Amino acid sequence: MDVRPVKIAGVGAYVPPQVMTNADLEKMVDTSDEWIVERTGIRERRIAGIGVATSDLAIEAAKSCLLHAGVAGSELDLIIVASASPDHLFPATACIVQASLGANNAAAFDMEIGCSGFIYALVTGAQYISCGTYEKVLVIGSETLSRFTNWNDRNTCCLFGDGAGAVLLTPGEEGEGIISFILGSNGSSSSLLTLPMGGSRIPACKESLDQGLHYIHMEGKAVFKFAVKVLIKAVTEVLKECGREIDDIGLLIPHQANIRIIESACERFRMPMERVMVNIGQYGNTSSASIPIALFEAVRDGRVKKGQLVVLVAFGAGLSWGSVALVW
Ligand code: UT7
């Protein structure tokens, strides 16, 4: 079977208009703008309005992506939504998006792999094209983590934000598009980052609600150490897979979890921050949406040029990680 090149033919993003600044958080919990900026790099984040769900953000990001690519919803073969905060346990958020886009010829499913979700979904979508099964695959990362944030817990409430990003995958020309990827997981550390309630292990009940098990639980320090190590490992391995070096990277787009994680890894790589996409200050950690939002902004701002090597890298719950190298 021939393996076809797979490229990103369109990008899109959507963030809800409501901004929550660090000053707003100072009024809610014992924190300060200074602490949050110094320890995380976050200045503000977006919060979805009342009644707005993950699919609503995903649909807006998808529409902006399809417009950019000049493709109609009816042309799509597959829609994958990566999200740690889906509308429901089921149906899949991707099915809700599919209906709204009029993508009547598309299959649709979700992938739930925390902050690595978009990279896993991108790699999965690319397989369908590279083997010749599908021509147009829409991959979306969308989150409303504000719904699962304990606004009384200063350890987590300053970190997360809502938003969505999308890419359209199509067959590419020889030498362009995805040239290597790596995916990994370590489930033995799964308890470090979890949303305990609402699944079959701890079904929703009053007792669990009273214990706050419906909120994101993260052991920040341990996840931080993992994140720095795995970011370095994932970038090193994905470059090795395609025979490239750190200096070949035109733009590195890491998951936006903490500016100190990104800076530590780049220091190790001796990579100047001008070649790294950072927008955590504006949006906080939007989990599986962070990379497609950052990619959208990089394209919009002319930071990605044709022929350039772009490396995407994510890490998060699972624990899990993934990286993709592509020629733009
Ligand atoms: O996206 C998925 C992957 N997620 C990540 O990669 C996140 C990884 N973790 C992190 O980014 C960082 O660990 C955090 C930002 C979550 C925390 O930063 P830290 O430098 O590891 O702080 P810490 O948890 O060690 O806390 C240091 C101190 C503590 O006070 P004491 O015990 O030293 O008195 C905390 O209570 O900072 C305190 N603290 C705060 N103070 C003011 C924690 N959160 C806050 C806050 N405001 N919001």
Query: Is any atom of ligand 1 closer than 6 Å to the C-beta of 258?
Result: yes
211's CB contacts (< 8 A; 6+ apart) are: none
| 68 noted as active-site residue | no
Report the predicted TM-score, pTM, of the whole model to 2 decimal places.
Answer: 0.97
Query: Is any atom of ligand 1 closer than 6 Å to the C-beta of 262?
Result: no
Residue nearest (by alpha carbon) to ligand 1 atom 3: 316
| 104 noted as active-site residue | no
If you average pLDDT over residues 133-160, what whole number do you get? 97
Distances (CA, A) of 269 to 92, 211, 275: 39, 42, 12
DSSP 276: B
Residue 86 and residue 92 in contact, taking contact as beta carbons nearer than 8 Å: yes
Q: Which residues pair with 315 in a beta bridge?
A: 321
pLDDT digits (tens, 9 = 90+) for 84-95: 999 999 999 999
Q: Evaluate if residue 311 carries a pLDDT over 80.
A: yes
- Using CA of residue 182, residue 286, residue 143, residue 31, what is the dihedral sign? positive
| 22 noted as active-site residue | no
Exposure letters 196-227 (e unless 16+ CB within 10 A, then b): bbeeeeeeeeeeeeeeebbbbbbebeebbebb
Minimal CA–CA distance to 11: which of 255, 303, 299, 320? 299
CA–CA separation, 172 and 177 (whole Å): 6
Instruction: Pick the catalytic residue from 65, 95, 115, 266.
Output: 115
Confidence of residue 290 (pLDDT cuts 50, 70, 90): very high
Q: What's the confidence (pLDDT) of residue 73?
A: 98
CA–CA separation, 188 and 185 (whole Å): 9
- Separation of CA 220 and ligand 1 centre (Å): 6
Residue nearest (by alpha carbon) to ligand 1 atom 19: 221
Residue that the structure tokens 């341990």 belong to: 222
Instruction: Pick the catalytic residue from 65, 217, 255, 266.
Output: 255
Query: Is any atom of ligand 1 closer than 6 Å to the C-beta of 270?
Result: no
Torsion of CA 320, 61, 309, 230, to 10 degrees: -20
Give the count of beta carbons closer than 10 Å to the beta carbon of residue 127: 14
Confidence of residue 2 (pLDDT cuts 50, 70, 90): low
Query: Is any atom of ligand 1 closer than 6 Å to the C-beta of 156?
Result: no
